Amino acid sequence: MIINLNQIDQDKSKKIAEIRDMNSEVVEMYASYLTKNPCFITKDLINEIVNDCKVSEEYAYYVLLAAACGLDLENNKRDIQLAKSYFIPSIKKLDTKIYKENSYYKNIKIPEVKFGDWELKYEKYQPYEAFIYNDLEIDKDFREIPRLGFFDEEILFPAVLESGIEWMTITPNEIETMQPVVEEVEGKVITFGLGLGYFAYMVSEKEQVQCITIVEKNEEVIRLFKNYILPQFPHKEKVEIISKDAFEYAEKYMVDGNYDYAFVDLWHNASDGVDMYLNMKKLEFLNPNTKYLYWIEESLLSNLRWYVYIVLLDGLKTETKNNLLQEEQQEQEQEQQEQQEQQENMGVCNNTDESCQQEFERKINVISSCLKGKNIHSFDEITYYLGNSFLKKLATKL
């Protein structure tokens, strides 16, 4: 790979490293807040700011969240930048009426039952409790903006617990992240992963959908669904359930041309989903006439993006060195520490875990091989290799 950029494009490319660091910083702040005290912001605190400052509830929420995350909005320029670039656009007051009118919420009644270690019940969000309501929003500069929402009143949502721990839910996050897929699919559809049957229900309601095949390996989940949820489907005749491992079925049993769309939803979040996403992407070629769609793909691709950036940055450093820029010698002394930080920023295991280090190096080597021989002459080409189109192609090789 040869990278030959003018100075302006070099500076733009290196600026992305600052954005990557800010992405990680914001994720850590939000994760800490959501884990430790998501109900810190209350109606009384919101009303006090709204009444005193004559601002919206969303703006009041931003002020309180920024304070809870330790941002100094008066004296610290970096904190002010984080607030403007991430916090303000990330926060949204959600309307409970929209979700209560969702046809699954309206028509599927979840009985509160226990069977073995499993429990089917309703959980709830408290008024002004914070939660992630949608997938990441990626702006043109590759800022990864979390989508943090709140309601001004209590709202219930279906949940399955295993040994008292939430295992599956139908929250606004599931509704919002699946909505684009629900709107797109038609014809014959297959979905890998059952959950509480939200996706299956929503697409079975569409006239454009002829049938929906569900591949699920967990017999307890299938039994729960068949006993308590599927009987409530108005179009249950469209639904077929296959008890098999998703990857085994996609590789050995899925016949090309049988399905127009495949929706893959096998993971709880992006951190445990990347490898499963990559495994399924490698199987797409077996069914070229089926369009594959993936849950929270934006977040999954963001993980891959920073692997690619590491490779590009290494090439950019080489070019910089060849142009006799002196700071490269100082950067080399910090190379090992930087690599570890890069892995941590992407949710990769640290260097004390040999298998994780090997996996990190494997991905870097594959990406380096894919970019070998490429001649990059502009910042636009850098952004292409960091964009979703290239990342989706890359995923089939990782």
* Distance linking the first and last C-alpha atoms of the chain: 19
Question: What does each C-alpha distance from 39 to 70, 148, 219, 278 come to in angstroms?
Answer: 16, 13, 36, 36
Task: Return the structure tokens found at 289.
Answer: 């006439």
pLDDT tens-digit profile of 70-86? 999 999 999 999 999 99
Residue 314, pLDDT score: 87
For residues 38-42, average pLDDT: 98
Cα separation of 102 and 107, whole Å?
9
Residue 54: left (phi > 0), alpha (psi -120 to 50), or beta? left
Task: Return the structure tokens found at 130.
Answer: 């914070």
DSSP code of 238? Answer: G
Residue 353, pLDDT score: 63
DSSP code of 348? Answer: -
Q: Is 185 helix (H, G, I), strand (E, B) or coil?
A: coil
Q: Are strands 187-192 and 261-264 parallel, antiparallel or unpaired?
A: parallel
Residue 332 reports pLDDT greater than 80: no
Count other Cβ atoms within 10 Å, centred on residue 343.
20
Question: Alpha-carbon dihedral of residues 56, 61, 66, 68, nearest 10 degrees?
Answer: 150
Confidence of residue 317 (pLDDT cuts 50, 70, 90): low
| Number of residues assigned to the chain | 398
**Contact of 130 with 150, CB cutoff 8 Å:** yes
Cα separation of 95 and 155, whole Å?
10
**Residue 54, CB-side half-sphere exposure with 13 Å CA sphere:** 0
Give CATH for domain 174-296. 3.40.50.150
Spatial neighbors of 136 by CB under 8 A, at least 6 apart, are 144, 145, 146, 147, 298, 299, 302
Residue 343 reports pLDDT greater than 50: no
User: Within 108-188, where are the H helices?
Assistant: 172-184
For residues 13-35, average pLDDT: 96
Mean pLDDT lowest among 153-167, 297-311, 324-338: 324-338
DSSP code of 378? Answer: S
Sketch the domain layout of the chain as residue ranges: 2-10+299-328+340-395, 37-90, 96-169, 174-296
Instruction: Write the burial class of residue 285 (CB in 10 Å: 0-12 exposed, 13-18 middle, 19+ buried).
Output: exposed
Confidence of residue 325 (pLDDT cuts 50, 70, 90): very low
| Pick from 235, 231, 189, 182: nearest CA to 214 | 189
Instruction: Write the burial class of residue 361 (CB in 10 Å: 0-12 exposed, 13-18 middle, 19+ buried).
Output: exposed
**Contact of 3 with 316, CB cutoff 8 Å:** yes
Cα separation of 350 and 336, whole Å?
12
Residue 222 reports pLDDT greater than 90: yes
Question: What does each C-alpha distance from 36 to 32, 85, 131 come to in angstroms?
Answer: 6, 24, 12
Residue type, 106: K
User: Within 136-240, where are the H helices?
Assistant: 172-184, 198-204, 219-224
Residue 183 reports pLDDT greater than 60: yes
**What b/e readout covers 15-32, taking b as 16+ CB neighbours within 10 angstroms?**
ebbebbebbbbbbebbee
Task: Return the structure tokens found at 202.
Answer: 């929503």
Q: Is 152 helix (H, G, I), strand (E, B) or coil?
A: coil
Q: How far is CA 57 from the centre of its chain?
A: 26
pLDDT tens-digit profile of 91-132? 999 999 999 999 999 999 999 998 888 899 999 999 999 999
Cα separation of 45 and 66, whole Å?
14
Confidence of residue 331 (pLDDT cuts 50, 70, 90): very low
